[in-house]
Amino acid sequence: MSFNFEIKSAQEDSLARVGTITTPHGQIQTPAFIPVGTKATVKSVLPEAMADLGAQALLANAYHLYLQPGADILDEAGGLSEFMNWPGPTFTDSGGFQVLSLGVGFKKVLAMDAKTFRADDVIAGNKERLAHVDDEGVTFKSHLDGSMHRFTPEISMQVQHQIGADIMFAFDECTTLHNTRPYQELAMERTLAWAARCLDEHKLLTEQRSTKPYQALFGVIQGAQYEDLRKKAAGDLGSLESSDQSFDGFGIGGALDKEKLGTIISWVNQVLPQEKPKHLLGIGAPEDLFVGVENGIDTFDCVLASRIARTSAVYTMEGRFNLSNSRFKRDFTAIDDECDCYTCTHYTRAYMHHVFRGKEMIAATLATIHNERFIVRLVDQMRQALLDGNFADMKADFLGRYAHRSGQASD
């Protein structure tokens, strides 16, 4: 078994720590941001460029790969890493979020701002529900061709073992902030029962596939915005043993009210076993990454950096703005003059403006490289600040500039 997490330095005044995750495909220095390649590709960017910009690992999605090309194809290829020509560590999320999103018609990532949140962003209204949950699993309709499928904890484990990522997540029932408290309780009980079934199936598959590299399994903590439910989930899953196995680490998922993000993470991380790695699922806005790190998160993933890049939106120390805005037509400076990425060291805002306006394919590539570098580097800088003992200063400095200028430089 070659999965290990070592804490190298822990803060005295917060839950933050610096560590190293070791997987069969290499190490991840934490805290770290893990870019998302949903369908075994970070859209428009070569794996070599992802490595050059400092990505230490990539996260793909089990639901998408199960539907296309099929998990058996990845198994035959020798696993996700081999298939996509990414030699480093990989993660897969369980597909639970995507499958259940079909049921409620999610359009957004899970960091929810309850105030600006419209009911129609979450609830599919009169539209046909594409997923149905029962105690055994979830039946859903493919978003690609309308064919019917079923995920259970066992099937999710089989799919994720075939895909072959170094770190997998247990199949959980993902709820929204709009579900009632009684429903959250029900979903949490179901997630706990499914967690034990995931551990059982994981043990079986690990034995059956003993020639393959060890794959680590993380449990997922649900419980929405309720302190007692979050702490109960952390206690139950943190101490869960089934088939002589416990989880190798934990993902914090589910409905997360942006304003309470730090509070919710600290409830959970005070209860979970300290020595195991913690991943925050689907969160990647700069201000949220600070909150995560200081509350003990080791790894993050989020599609936001690449998704917004394709619409010409970029992160900079001057805040977030859109390169297609006409004020950049004759701006021959870099996107961000403090950024060391390939795009910023070779291209100007004027060129980026031109390729976005012309709908050139290189626009997505160059903007994605910049945004992913910006976020990866920001978390790298947090890790260094923790080692240097000046995290609080670094945070105040970054947020002071970023938030201040974001207010001025709107899209």
By CB under 5 A, name the binding residues for Zn ion: 339, 341, 343-344, 370
Pick between residue 373 and residue 383 the one whose CB is nearest to Zn ion.
373
Q: Is 301 a catalytic residue?
A: yes
Pick between residue 44 and residue 215 the one whose CB is nearest to Zn ion.
44
- CA 40 to CA 17: how far, in whole Å? 30
> For residue 276, which of 242, 234, 244 has the smallest C-alpha distance?
234
Q: How far is the CB of 5 from Zn ion (least distance, A)?
A: 31
The Cβ of residue 82 has, within 10 Å, a number of other Cβ atoms equal to: 13
3-class SS letters over 232-284: HHHHHHHHCCECCECCCEEEECCCEEHHHHHHHHHHHHHHCCCCCCEEECCCC
Distances in whole angstroms, Cα of residue 120 to Cα of each of 106, 127, 339: 9, 11, 38
Question: Pick the catalytic residue: 93, 172, 236, 288?
Answer: 93
Pick between residue 190 and residue 370 the one whose CB is nearest to Zn ion.
370
Query: Dihedrals φ, ψ of 6, to 5°?
Result: -120, 125
The Cβ of residue 262 has, within 10 Å, a number of other Cβ atoms equal to: 16
Identify the bridge partners of residue 301 per DSSP, sorted by sequence position.
Answer: 34
Q: How far is the CB of 372 from Zn ion (least distance, A)?
A: 9
Q: Is 93 a catalytic residue?
A: yes
Pick between residue 66 and residue 356 the one whose CB is nearest to Zn ion.
356
- CA 214 to CA 164: how far, in whole Å? 9
Q: Whats the size of the chain, residue-wise? A: 411
Q: How far is the CB of 371 from Zn ion (least distance, A)?
A: 8
Q: Left, alpha or beta for 85 (phi > 0: left; psi -120 to 50: alpha)? A: left
Pick between residue 258 and residue 370 the one whose CB is nearest to Zn ion.
370
Contact 305, 315 (CB under 8 A): yes
Pick between residue 44 and residue 343 the one whose CB is nearest to Zn ion.
343
- CA 380 to CA 374: how far, in whole Å? 10
CB-based contacts of 273-278 (< 8 A; 24+ apart in sequence): 273/238, 274/7, 275/5, 275/7, 276/5, 276/247, 276/248, 276/249, 276/250, 277/5, 277/19, 277/21, 277/30, 277/218, 277/248, 277/249, 277/250, 278/249, 278/250, 278/251, 278/252
Question: Pick the catalytic residue: 172, 248, 298, 301?
Answer: 301
Contact 162, 212 (CB under 8 A): no
> For residue 137, which of 200, 196, 190 has the smallest C-alpha distance?
190
Q: How far is the CB of 51 from Zn ion (least distance, A)?
A: 16
- CA 185 to CA 6: how far, in whole Å? 34
Amino acid at 57: A
Contact 220, 281 (CB under 8 A): yes
Pick between residue 1 and residue 317 the one whose CB is nearest to Zn ion.
317
Pick between residue 138 and residue 369 the one whose CB is nearest to Zn ion.
369
- CA 251 to CA 257: how far, in whole Å? 16
- Catalytic residue positions, numbered: 93, 301
